[in-house]
Amino acid sequence: MTEVLVLVDHVDGAVKKTTSELLTIARRLGEPSAVFFGTGVEQAKETLAQFGAAKVYVVEDAALGEFLVAPKAEAMAQLVEKTQPAAVLIPSYAEGKEIAGRLSVKLESGLITDAVDVKAGDNGPQTTQSVFAGSFTVTAQVTKGTPIITVKPNSATPEPTDGAAEVEPFAVTISDAAKTARIVDSKPREKTGRPELTEAAIVVSGGRGTGGNFEPVEAFADSLDAAVGASRAAVDSGWYPHSYQVGQTGKTVSPQLYIAAGISGAIQHRAGMQTSKTIVAINKDEEAPIFELVDFGVVGDLHTVLPAATEEVTKRKG
Amino acid sequence: MNIVVCVKYVPDATGDRRFNDADHTVDRVGVDGLLSELDEYAVEEALKIVEASDGSEGEVTVLTVGPEQAADAIRKSLQMGAHKGVHVLDDAIHGSDAAATSLLLAEAIKKVGAESAWDLVICGMASTDGSMSVVPAMLAERLGVAQVTFGSEISVTGDMVSIRRDGDTATETVEASTPLVLSVTDQSNEPRYPSFKGIMAAKKKPVETWSLADLGVPAEQVGLAAAWTKVDASAARPPREAGTIVTDEGDGAARLVEFLAGQKFI
């Protein structure tokens, strides 16, 4: 069976859930081979095997960690040359999409970004994308070269199987031209103990209506084991870090349940959450556009509704 | 410093956005369009950098690829303070994908550079329509220069450019020396509004229109027929069914939790 390359998203060997999703999707198209950049493969191997990776190509070249994007794109191109895969699947985070972009130019191969579903078709993978702030659905395919597809989190339910996860070191040659944008400092983001925003099953977000007090939002999120998000208005006001922003210029989330508290629902925000399965909103303004999207809405003050709801949820969970 | 800013003319996100029925391309002609909001940050950053290098000569050239209406995106950038514009305009471009667009931008940037060397190419973090966020990376690849992208804080010292890049797992500092491709996020600055003086001055600023022939790009390499991907179908997402909305009269929290429990979230 033809190989399908899957770029592993990990931090020092701790594999993100998106990787299990991509391996699951890759099995629809061929035999998944994981591509592992950096160190920590011993730790990652078990998960990669569990979701069906037959091989794990490991690239440890130091340049991959020292310089932005370009060396990873070169390494990926060399792996594609070697393996002639049926497709290359890359998680849709910022650097993933940039690697995909450079790879597309290098290989003269078509690129589809932000797929929310990928199926096998007669002429290669068929993708589904959600566009224009989630108001349109587009199906597409690559018509030239090796299909390169970036896939959003939560696009598949990870299905365990048995993979050999045979580790194969892969030596790459990184050109001097790729060693130009140097990463001179890297500070890991502070851990909150909450689920990852883009991976969480439930997200509770706060907006302008919090007035800067996110405590009720965080407490309600914790009662539901949810991630916390914020609207652009809240981030621009300096109330919550940008890395938690949900919307066009922040994260796109597609959880089972999205709860918007004190968020009006401007297009910028809708772009980041419109495809959530169930949507709930709490807002003082009954005219807020967010109510057009909801399955359930409460017209009221989040500062009274959320604490009472938190108490009730905690009581029920006992 | 000489800077080329790449901007895109996009359908207004607050208006009606749709696809052409015949070929599934984005309808850019029959709807209200404007300079992509995220590109305003790129224009602003370019102006700030040139203004900060006091005394030294520096020009901001704003470049777009798009239909006739895309001249609006150039005009807005000139009103903000950019010095001149280049509009790559050719009927054969319709339907070009990101790869072809990056080819056209790269060739136009080379042509700008042949007249006077550029130091920086600045792009927004994404377009507000396609929102792929890949063109800056593709441009760096095609131009063979450093890629310094998703800058939320930018500093320029001599020929060194340094950015703060907020990633999913870490905040990085990335630096490179010019020439390079820089992209900036909506956290990087606060774009200025065109002043009355700026609006008047923009009318006299030079805008060149270049065709494929001017760039030496064969028509077979761009446009819908040359795209490396194909859209099979596009459809409006069915509207969400109207939900239940209750007004909190002391029972809002209880009814909310009841709903969540009914949906098995608790």
Give the pLDDT of residue B64.
98
Give the pLDDT of residue B248.
96
- A167 part of contact set with chain B, CB < 8 Å: no
Cβ neighbours of B235 in A, within 8 Å: 136-138
Stretch B127-141: mean pLDDT: 94
> What does the pLDDT look like over B71-107, one tens digit per residue?
999 999 999 999 999 999 999 999 999 999 999 999 9
As for the ipTM of the complex, it is: 0.94
Give the pLDDT of residue A312.
96
Cβ neighbours of A68 in B, within 8 Å: 147-149, 165, 172, 174
- Asked if the Cβ–Cβ distance from B99 to A286 is below 8 Å, we say no
Burial class (CB in 10 A: 0-12, 13-18, 19+), B233: exposed
> What does the pLDDT look like over A130-188, one tens digit per residue?
998 888 999 999 999 999 999 999 899 999 999 999 999 999 999 999 999 999 999 99
Tokens in use for A277? 């399965």
- Asked if the Cβ–Cβ distance from A249 to B256 is below 8 Å, we say no
Cβ neighbours of B121 in A, within 8 Å: none
- B15 part of contact set with chain A, CB < 8 Å: no
Question: If you measure CA to CA, which chain B residue comes closest to A238?
Answer: B187
> What does the pLDDT look like over B38-60, one tens digit per residue?
999 999 999 999 999 866 679 99
- A76 part of contact set with chain B, CB < 8 Å: no
**Residue tagged 């591509």 (tokens):** A35
- Asked if the Cβ–Cβ distance from B237 to A186 is below 8 Å, we say no
- Asked if the Cβ–Cβ distance from A11 to B145 is below 8 Å, we say no
Chain centroid offset of residue A85 CA: 23
Task: Give B34→chain A minimum CA distance, Å.
Answer: 15
- Asked if the Cβ–Cβ distance from A140 to B230 is below 8 Å, we say yes
Cβ neighbours of A100 in B, within 8 Å: 134
- B182 part of contact set with chain A, CB < 8 Å: no
Give the pLDDT of residue B254.
97
The helix/strand/coil state of B221 is: helix
Nearest residue to A269 (alpha-carbon basis) of A114, A153, A95, A134: A134
The helix/strand/coil state of B184 is: strand
CB-defined contacts A:B, below 8 A: 272
Stretch A279-304: mean pLDDT: 97
Cα dihedral B67→B70→B72→B78 (10° resolution): -130
Cβ neighbours of A224 in B, within 8 Å: 260, 265-266
pLDDT band at B30 (very low <50, low <70, confident <90, very high): confident
Cβ neighbours of A309 in B, within 8 Å: 253, 256-257
Instruction: Enumerate domains of chain B plus CATH numbers.
Output: 2-226 (3.40.50.620)
Stretch A265-294: mean pLDDT: 94
- A300 part of contact set with chain B, CB < 8 Å: yes
pLDDT band at B200 (very low <50, low <70, confident <90, very high): very high
Mean of per-residue pLDDT scores for chain A: 96
> What does the pLDDT look like over B147-170, one tens digit per residue?
999 999 999 999 999 999 998 889
The C-alpha atoms of residue A241 and residue A299 are separated, in whole angstroms, by 27
- B159 part of contact set with chain A, CB < 8 Å: no
- B224 part of contact set with chain A, CB < 8 Å: no
Whether the CB-CB separation of A224 and A245 falls below 8 Å is answered with no
Give the pLDDT of residue B56.
66
Q: Which of A184, A188, A301 is opposite residue B169, by nearest beta carbon? A: A188
**Which residues neighbour A172 within 8 Å (Cβ) at sequence distance 6 or greater?**
A59, A61, A74, A75, A78, A79
Give the pLDDT of residue B55.
60
- A267 part of contact set with chain B, CB < 8 Å: yes
- Asked if the Cβ–Cβ distance from B167 to A94 is below 8 Å, we say yes
Task: Give B217→chain A minimum CA distance, Å.
Answer: 16
Which of A92, A95, A118, A132 best probes binding to B when mutated, by most B CB atoms within 10 angstroms? A132
Question: If you measure CA to CA, which chain B residue comes closest to A313?
Answer: B257
- Asked if the Cβ–Cβ distance from B256 to A242 is below 8 Å, we say no
